[in-house]
Amino acid sequence: MTEVTRTFFESRLQRRGLTALVPTMGYFHEGHLALMAAARQAAETVIVSLFVNPLQFNDPADLERYPRDFERDLEMAQAEKVDVVFAPSSEEMYSEPPLTRVRVAKVEDHLEGPRRPGHFAGVATAVAKLFAGLQPDLAFFGRKDAQQLALVRQMTKDLSFPVTISGQPTIREQDGLALSSRNVFLGPEDRTAALSLSAGLFAAADLAEAGERDGRRLLEVASKVADGVDVEYVTLASQNHAQPLAELDRPSFLAVAARVGKVRLIDNVAFDLVVGQVMADRGRRLERESVLYR
Ligand code: AMP
C-alpha cells in the first residue's frame, strides 16, 4: 500500500529502516519509474516526493502549463511499490515566502545557470528542505539533469547532509529522445526535429570512444547534427562542477539545450574514464512507447 502524505511530519513517521527519497515534479515517465525501481532495490522505505516547485521556474508560463495528474502518478507509484508519496501543498513547503536560498556557487555559473536565473537556487533550496524535512538515507537523481546532479552532490557535501546521492542513467524513448514530462507538448514535426539532439550527442560519443579528446571537435560534431533546431548551447563540462572543458580529460558530460517548438529541451551524454578509456553513458532506450503518451 502506498501512503499519501501531505506534511514532513507524517512522512517521517512512515520511515522504517534505510529510507530512500526520489524527488520529482510528477507527471511520471519511465525516467522517474527507473529512479523508483533503483530506490526500491536499495532501501526498505521508498519516499517519492511530488511537488511542482515554483521557486525553480524562472518562466511563469512554464510553471502554469507544467503537466500535472496526481491520480495517474499515484497509480504508477503504487505499481513501483513506493511506500510513500509525499505531495505537500505550497503552504507545507513554503508556509511564507522563504527568506533563505541555498546557492551553490560555481556549479551554477554555466550551461543552464545563466539561461534560467534563479533556477538552481530554487532547486537547491527545495532539495535541502526535502533532505531536512524527510531525513532520507539515500536520494536518487537522473543523469539527464547532469548539472542538477552536480549541484545536489556539492550541496550535500558542503552542508553535511547525511544522504548518499545516487545518479541514474537517462531513460530514452525508442528512437533516442530523452524522456521528459515536457515531451507531451511536442507536435509530430517538433518530435522529429528533437531527435537531432540525441543523434548529435551519440555521434560525438562515438567519436570520444574512438579516442577524440578535443572538446571543440566533439562540440562541432554534436552541433552539426543538431542544426535543424534552435540550439542554445552545446558544451563539454566537468561532472563535478559543471565547468566547461577544452579537453575530455576527466569525468565529464556533453550537454545540449535547444528550443523545439514551444518546448525547451536539454540532454547530455556522460563520459566516464575507465582505466584511461572513455566510456560514454548514452542512457537506456525503451522497447515500447512511453507511458507518457497513455
Ligand atoms: P523532474 O520530475 O523532471 O524534476 O525529474 C525528477 C527526477 O527524474 C530528476 O532527478 C531527473 O533528473 C530525473 N529524470 C527526468 N527525466 C529523466 C530521464 N529521462 N531519465 C532518467 N532520469 C530522469
C-alpha angle with apex 24: 22 to 26, nearest 5 degrees?
130
The answer for residues whose C-beta is within 8 angstroms of residue 166's C-beta and 6 or more apart is: 38, 42, 138, 139, 140, 141
Beta-strand ranges (E) seen in 79-118 are 84-86
The single-letter DSSP state of residue 95 is S
Atom 11 of ligand 1, residue of closest alpha carbon? 142
| Active site annotation includes 29 | no
Q: Give residue 158's pLDDT.
A: 98
pLDDT at 227 exceeding the cut of 80: no
Percentage of the chain modeled with pLDDT above 70: 100
Choose which residue among 144, 149, 263 to substitute to test ligand 1 binding: the one with the highest number of ligand atoms within 8 A of its C-beta: 144
Atom 17 of ligand 1, residue of closest alpha carbon? 31
Ligand 1 mean position to 54 CA, how many Å?
17
For the entire predicted model, the pTM comes to: 0.98
Sorting pLDDT into bands at 50, 70 and 90, what band is 73?
very high
With a 6 Å cutoff on the Cβ, whether 31 touches ligand 1 is yes
Atom 13 of ligand 1, residue of closest alpha carbon? 142
CA dihedral 121→125→130→136, nearest 10 degrees, is: 80
- Average pLDDT taken over every residue of the chain: 97
Per mean pLDDT, which range of 34-48, 214-228, 262-276 is the poorest?
214-228
With a 6 Å cutoff on the Cβ, whether 253 touches ligand 1 is no
With a 6 Å cutoff on the Cβ, whether 25 touches ligand 1 is yes
Ligand 1 mean position to 183 CA, how many Å?
12
Sorting pLDDT into bands at 50, 70 and 90, what band is 225?
confident
Find the mean pLDDT for residues 42-50.
Answer: 98
